[in-house]
Amino acid sequence: MIKDTGSLRVRVRPTYLPLYKQLLKSRQIRQHSEFFTTCCFLPGPSERVDMGNITELCQANSFTDYQLTALSSLGYKKSQRILEPNELFEMMEKEADAGMTFLITELWHDLVNLNQDEDVTLIPGQEFEAQVRLIKFVQGKLEEVPF
Amino acid sequence: MIITQLTMHHFRQFYGTQTIEFAHDGDEMVTVILGENGRGKTGLYRAVMYALFGDRTLEQDAKGKGVLLANSRALKEDEAGQHRGIESSVRIRFRHADKDYELHRSQLSRQQANGKVHEEASELILIDHTDGSRITKKEEVERFIHDLLDERVKHYFFFDGERIERLTRVDEDQKEEVATGIRNLLKIDQVLKSRDVLGHMLKATSKQLEKHSTGDYKKALQKRNSLQEQIEEAKNEQARINKEQTALAVRIQEIDNRLEELSQVSVAIRQRRELEKEKEGVSKGYAEAQQALTALHSTIGLLMARDVLYEVKKQLDFYLGENRLEETMTASGLQELIHDLTCICGRAFDEDSEEYRRLQSLYRSVKSQESNQAYYEMKAEVMQLIGYLEGKESELSERLSDLKSYETRLESLNYQIEQLNQQVTGSSEQSIQELGEEREAVVTRKAQHEVEFRRLEEEWTELENELAKVDLQLKDLKVKSGLHQQLLTKEEKLKESVDVMDRAINGFEQDVIQDLELATSENLAYLLDDSGRQNLQDVKVEQDYSLEVYNAFNQPFLANISQGQRQVLSLSFITALAQVAGGNKALEMPLFMDTPFGRLSTDHQENLMNFIPQIASQWILLVTDREYDETVKRKFESSGVVGRFYRLESTEPGVTTIEAGEVLNHD
């Protein structure tokens, strides 16, 4: 496991940042790392798009051990080797971006607002509904694959 | 009064100056004005009520809602132009007692900066075209109109068909007003006034007699006058109490009706309270379930990683093999032993020995493990995370299921509460309590009044007995006095006259009421259809001119008749009033009806169309195309009673023009 992430920063697309902040403010998540991790495991567009000038979301050391294990596993699965922290988070930023794109274009398409700067937010008051939809989606996914 | 012409200027929907000529001569005395809803039929009705009585609102207008009489288009044009305000007016030409009159009433209107319209009365003029005289004083014009038609019964001649049935259920507090109006119409009031004049004269003569008398006679006279005053006072007080009692009885009835409604909803209120209490608990549970679900968010990302974790574990198993990590010795420790040719137990060996080969093998194995340390650690962590996630999926399902069940219960409770809310709208437990308290107070007051009423009756009966004694005493003294014979005779004659008058009035009013009953019953029988005729047999006009209708079994039946039948009953009474008031000829009064056939069946409508022209001198009908289609029009016009026909056409929003139509020649 990544023992030392140092002062490594985790970044997201600037237009997605308001949505992270909204979820934190409405107490649907306790830390940005939670939602970032979730996004990494959501299905996303097969073609990764350019995220542009990505902006800092949080520090890598705010991720819990379990979150780091989950992310490292995903990194291992994709590269077949244990990645260094910077490599890992660079990859995960793309995964989280794709996951978020899936959320706002598919699962939450009728719950989100886009402003003139294309900043994405949830329609005020719809935060819990978004949470429930996400949980139901996860539950569906878990039931889909028998282990 | 017969209305010959109505001219409106910038009034309601009627932009500019527009005129209607009414049919009024001979047999062709019906004017039909056809207009779809919103075209201005009621605008015409308003115009007539405004011109005659200055009414700015009608009964059907919502309370507190101002009705704009000025034409909106004219107002807008004025606002855009000189903004001086506009004049709206209604001019009515009418004939009465062989004279030709013109009544003109107008107002000024101006749109204010805040968007509201300020309306202000302007002119009221009555012109007698027969001699050219004009009355401009408001009070005098109003008195003239009042003499033509008492305002209290105006709705018996100018009415909105939808509301006509209300005449059969006049409020208790309005009954006296309406009765006075009807007495006025039937000219009974003039006889009553004569009786009052005689009464005053009698009083004055008695006072005069008292003044010119002396001794015991004077004393007896004083006593008699005092007794009479006391009796009058007691009777007036009794009448006042009686009136108040009626109002109290009405209030009790209102409260009872309301309480009955509330008692029906009190069960609903109780149920609602229970459901609201339950909802409180469920809402709390729902909020907790929400929180619990939200708390799971930290897990859901990890749960999504589950298949990745299993896959990675599998790959690591394959890569690392089944060997367990040897934790007893490090590679450097083993290398040291091999270099020193000394076993772990301290025994020496040489390079060809079995111990040496074993140590070499162990060294290679430990060296390999040390190079895969990170993979081992990763595998351990993955397994740990898989272990952590065990049970989390079922926890997630449980929490979701909890939330769903709370949601379903909440939805069901909200629906039930909403249903109950609709039942209890406008009522509350507080109002039940308040009404209960008010009822108790009203009943107590009514009981006190009853006691007071009886006390007053006893009082004036006693006073009247005493008065009779004093009258006897006076008779005796009068013989002895021989004084003021002229005054005494005058007083006696006046007293007799008042008594005769009283008897005559009572008799006359009874006769009029009987005539009204007969005419109403006959008209009703004419207007009703067959089944109605079988069911409703007789009409009784009460002393206060309210109506009761009796069924075939001679039982009061008013409360059970349909809205349409009520309308027909009202029309029967109105036409009876016109007949009785008119005497031998038809009463010279128009019947102005706004949408009168709306609730009537075809039979009732046909009967009415045949009947009214026989008894009225003028009939003005405002009808919709539903009441008066082409078939009805042809049929009615072929009877030869329709003199004029107009159609109200909308030319632009809020603007109506009056277009004269052709009346079929019945020949």
Q: Using 50, 70 and 90 to split pLDDT, how confident is the model at B273?
A: confident
Q: Return the pLDDT at B220.
A: 84
CB contact under 8 Å between B297 and A28, yes or no, is yes
Minimal Cα–Cα distance from A117 to chain B, Å? 29
Query: Residues with Cβ < 8 Å from B292, sequence gap 6 or more?
Result: B399, B402
Domain that includes residue A96, residue range: 9-144
A22 touches chain B (CB under 8 A): no
- Mutation choice for A interface testing from B296, B302, B376, B390 by most A CBs within 10 A: B302
CA distance B488 to B498: 15
Percent of chain B that is helix, strand, coil (3-state, to 5): 60, 15, 20
B300 touches chain A (CB under 8 A): yes
Chain B: residue whose CA lies nearest to A67? B302
Q: Using 50, 70 and 90 to split pLDDT, how confident is the model at B387?
A: very high
Considering only CB atoms, B294 lies closest to which of A28, A40, A41, namely A28
Q: Using 50, 70 and 90 to split pLDDT, how confident is the model at A99?
A: very high
Q: Is A136 inside any structural domain?
A: yes
Q: Greater confidence, B134 or B475?
A: B134
A10 touches chain B (CB under 8 A): no
- Given a cut of 60, is residue B427 above it in pLDDT? no
B400 touches chain A (CB under 8 A): yes
Cβ-based burial of B60 (10 A; exposed 0-12, middle 13-18, buried ≥19): exposed
Specify the DSSP element, H or E, that contains B6: strand B2-11
Contact A117, A15 (CB under 8 A): yes
CB contact under 8 Å between A136 and B297, yes or no, is no
Chain A: residue whose CA lies nearest to B287? A128
B620 touches chain A (CB under 8 A): no
CB contact under 8 Å between B309 and A65, yes or no, is no
Query: Average pLDDT, stretch B389-410?
Result: 89
Asked if the interface predicted TM-score (ipTM) of this complex is over 0.90, the answer is yes
Enter the tokens of residue B594.
């706004």
In A, which residues are within 8 Å of B308 by CB distance?
41, 70, 73-74, 77
Q: Return the pLDDT at A107.
A: 92
Q: Return the pLDDT at B325.
A: 53
Contact B537, B550 (CB under 8 A): yes
Considering only CB atoms, A131 lies closest to which of B294, B311, B312, namely B294
In A, which residues are within 8 Å of B374 by CB distance?
82
B301 touches chain A (CB under 8 A): yes
Q: Greater confidence, B473 or B299?
A: B299
CB contact under 8 Å between B293 and A142, yes or no, is no
- Given a cut of 70, is residue B333 above it in pLDDT? yes
Q: Which domains does chain B have, with CATH numbers?
A: 1-149+591-667 (3.40.50.300), 293-424 (no CATH)
- The number of domains in chain A is 1
Minimal Cα–Cα distance from B167 to chain A, Å? 56
Q: Is A40 inside any structural domain?
A: yes
Q: Return the pLDDT at B493.
A: 84
A87 touches chain B (CB under 8 A): no
B388 touches chain A (CB under 8 A): yes
Q: Is A4 inside any structural domain?
A: no
- Given a cut of 90, is residue B543 above it in pLDDT? no
Q: Return the pLDDT at B103.
A: 96
B397 touches chain A (CB under 8 A): yes
In A, which residues are within 8 Å of B310 by CB distance?
147
In A, which residues are within 8 Å of B375 by CB distance?
82
Counting residues of chain B whose pLDDT is more than 90, the rounded percentage is: 20
In B, which residues are within 8 Å of A40 by CB distance?
301
CA distance A135 to A41: 13
A142-146, B76-80, B232-236, B636-640: the lowest-pLDDT one: A142-146
Counting residues of chain B whose pLDDT is more than 70, the rounded percentage is: 92
Chain B: residue whose CA lies nearest to A26? B294
Cβ-based burial of B332 (10 A; exposed 0-12, middle 13-18, buried ≥19): exposed
Three-state DSSP class for B172? Answer: helix
Q: Using 50, 70 and 90 to split pLDDT, how confident is the model at B563?
A: confident
Query: Residues with Cβ < 8 Å from B230, sequence gap 6 or more?
Result: B459, B460, B463
Q: Return the pLDDT at B126.
A: 95
A138 touches chain B (CB under 8 A): yes
In B, which residues are within 8 Å of A65 by CB distance?
381
CB contact under 8 Å between B378 and A38, yes or no, is no
CB contact under 8 Å between A38 and B374, yes or no, is no
B499 touches chain A (CB under 8 A): no
Q: Return the pLDDT at B66.
A: 65
In A, which residues are within 8 Å of B297 by CB distance?
28-30, 34-35, 38, 131, 135
Q: Is A105 inside any structural domain?
A: yes
Three-state DSSP class for B176? Answer: helix
pLDDT digits (tens, 9 = 90+) for B118-166: 888 889 999 999 999 999 999 999 999 988 887 777 877 777 766 666 6
**Helix B331-340 × helix B354-371 angle, to 10°:** 160
B356 touches chain A (CB under 8 A): no
Instruction: Count CB atoms within 10 A of the CB of residue B628.
Output: 22
Q: Greater confidence, B281 or B600?
A: B281
For residue A37, the number of C-alpha atoms closer than 13 Å in the C-beta half-sphere is: 29
Considering only CB atoms, A82 lies closest to which of B297, B310, B378, namely B378
- Given a cut of 80, is residue B214 above it in pLDDT? no
Q: Return the pLDDT at B18.
A: 95
Chain A: residue whose CA lies nearest to B375? A82
B423-432, B510-519, B651-660: the lowest-pLDDT one: B423-432
Considering only CB atoms, B381 lies closest to which of A1, A132, A138, namely A1
CB contact under 8 Å between B400 and A135, yes or no, is yes
Q: Is A2 inside any structural domain?
A: no
CA distance B442 to B435: 10
CA distance B315 to B322: 12
Contact B331, B363 (CB under 8 A): yes
- Given a cut of 80, is residue A8 above it in pLDDT? yes
Contact B191, B505 (CB under 8 A): yes
CB contact under 8 Å between A70 and B302, yes or no, is yes
In B, which residues are within 8 Å of A135 by CB distance?
293, 296-297, 300, 396, 400
Q: Is A39 inside any structural domain?
A: yes
CB contact under 8 Å between B297 and A34, yes or no, is yes
Minimal Cα–Cα distance from A116 to chain B, Å? 30
- Given a cut of 90, is residue B512 above it in pLDDT? no
In B, which residues are within 8 Å of A39 by CB distance?
301
Query: Average pLDDT, stretch B433-446?
Result: 85
B194-203 CB contacts, 8 Å cutoff, 24+ apart: B194/B501, B195/B498, B195/B501, B195/B502, B195/B505, B198/B494, B198/B497, B198/B498, B198/B501, B199/B498, B201/B494, B202/B491, B202/B494, B202/B495, B202/B498
In A, which residues are within 8 Å of B305 by CB distance?
37, 41, 70, 73-74
Q: What is the mean pLDDT of chain B?
A: 83
pLDDT digits (tens, 9 = 90+) for B362-372: 777 777 777 77
- CA nearest neighbour of B266 among B479, B386, B428: B428
Minimal Cα–Cα distance from A78 to chain B, Å? 10
Q: Return the pLDDT at A147.
A: 41
